[in-house]
Amino acid sequence: MYCFHHAGGGPSLFQGWQRALAPEAQVLPVLLPGRDRRIREPRFTDIDRLIEDLDRELGSSLEQPYVLFGHSMGALIAHRLAAHRSATGGRLPEAVFLSGCRPPHLPTGLPPADKASEAELVSWLKEVGGLPDELLGSPDWLALLLPILIDDLTLCASVAKRPATRLPCPVHVFGGDADPLAGRHELSAWRAHSSGEFTLTMCSGGHFYLKDSPDLLLAVLRKGLSGYRSPPRSGS
């Protein structure tokens, strides 16, 4: 299960998931360029260029059974990667799991990267609960975070310019019932991007419900993933 994180974030969002989801899946959080140990690599601000890079980087591993999970910005990435695979004849994921994100045909609900001030971005981060107040009050930390966030928001905005794609693989959507960015109505609109099985699960919490109260999400994922495990070989 390849996992994609939110704007301004990193793979630590999925800490503990391997333990929670074993043996149903091998959890592989994807570290995008321009953060953590890849901090010196240029960040992508165009979704098509990122998807082409991911498809090339993940390469042959996508020819084995896999699923995609994405939260917030990561949901847009997971959806576009599956759409790219569908358009180019690559192996599709067994399922796509999308969390805390409006579908591409709706306004993102995110602050405009090219117009929002530093104060407005910090206020938005506080609203969605993305970081502890002590970090948001640290000028040194913000000097590292905000350029990453701005580039990620630019990446998210680029998705709206792409044609809609209906995925033939199962699409399972999750969200927090108190999320100010993506409520039940917006999340249910992902159905327009699926021509196959579609489910919507609402969990208790805000935008980062998957950190604050992940039990229902992980239980549903574990149950769903069990149906995609390869059966044991004869004689094993």
DSSP output for 158-191? HHTTSPP--BSS-EEEEEETT-SS--HHHHHGGG
- The length of the chain in residues reads 236
203 burial class (0-12, 13-18, 19+ CB within 10 angstroms)?
A: buried
What is the distance between the alpha carbons of residues 122 and 32, in angstroms, rounded to a whole number? Answer: 22
- Contact status, residue 28 vs residue 3, Cβ threshold 8 Å: yes
* Catalytic residue (choose from 60, 61, 72, 213): 72
Count CA within 13 A, CB hemisphere, residue 119: 0
What is the distance between the alpha carbons of residues 31 and 49, in angstroms, rounded to a whole number? Answer: 16
233 burial class (0-12, 13-18, 19+ CB within 10 angstroms)?
A: exposed
- Contact status, residue 19 vs residue 218, Cβ threshold 8 Å: no
What is the distance between the alpha carbons of residues 54 and 94, in angstroms, rounded to a whole number? Answer: 18
Is 72 labeled as catalytic in the residue annotation?
yes
| Neighbour tally for 16: CB within 10 Å | 12
Residues that are catalytic: 72
